[in-house]
Amino acid sequence: MIDFPIELSGVSKRYNIYDKPIDRLKEILMRNKCYHREFWALKDFSYKFKQETTVLLGPNGSGKSTLLRIIANVLQPTAGRVTCRGRVTAILELGAGFQPEYSGRENALLNGMLLGIEKKEMLNRLDQIADFAEIGEFFDQPLATYSSGMVVRLAFACATNVDPDILLVDEALAVGDIRFEKKCRRRMEHLRERGKTILFVSHNMGMVKYFCDSAVLLSNGELVADGPVLDIVPMYEEIMESEEGFGAKRSFEVPSLV
């Protein structure tokens, strides 16, 4: 058992915001003038994720998706260090990492090879991926012909049928039918029982309370609180209902930060 499969130290992510597209060009041509303002999606975020199921909570814009993308190595941090121990798979925004002109089969094969899995092993896993995705003959059709639900099916099948050590899920199960959502939950429960590390974003508090061991609460790119999920969810719900937003965080006691 690994104590901390995911470790982040001083991770920050900055975006340069331009009021007009031409301002970006002006800044390149006029090196001594600044035409942008800075937006920090994450600010000096340090945390050690345990080998358990953890949910990231926070309002829109708090940095949850940015954090998942950095852990997945889809985004590079502006500063800081990320260490992941084991094979990482991710289900991020719809169709992320997939090529629309490739078939589902080709995308599944490419996805596995990008994870460092040998082609022979991936070829042996394709039938399992196709069976789980349940998209029939579309498995050999271009992704551009897929519905959003079919893309989610393929993404989840690819991410969970390659024996991941760390699974990252960004609200992907919100798209698709109820039956397939239940099937995905069973697969995630199976991974959890096998001691895999699962980190995901969800606004479904029923699922969060049932499925998660711990929670991390973020605001404006910073860590606000962390702890057992049943302790953090009421804080999140109180904050979301408060007219003062995260300015009200001083009104309640938060657990010690890791």
pLDDT tens-digit series, residues 141-161? 999 999 888 998 898 899 899
User: ∠ at Cα 185 (68, 74), nearest 5°?
Assistant: 20
Q: How far apart are CA 55 and CA 238, in angstroms?
A: 17
Q: How far apart are CA 198 and CA 80, in angstroms?
A: 22
pLDDT at 23: 83
pLDDT tier for residue 251 given thresholds of 50, 70 and 90: very low
pLDDT at 47: 97
pLDDT at 50: 95
Higher model confidence: residue 140 or residue 37?
Answer: 140
pLDDT at 250: 40
Average pLDDT over residues 3-28: 90
Higher model confidence: residue 166 or residue 181?
Answer: 166
Q: How far apart are CA 49 and CA 2, in angstroms?
A: 10
Sequence-ordered strand ranges (E) for 155-232: 166-170, 197-201, 214-219, 222-228
pLDDT tier for residue 95 given thresholds of 50, 70 and 90: low
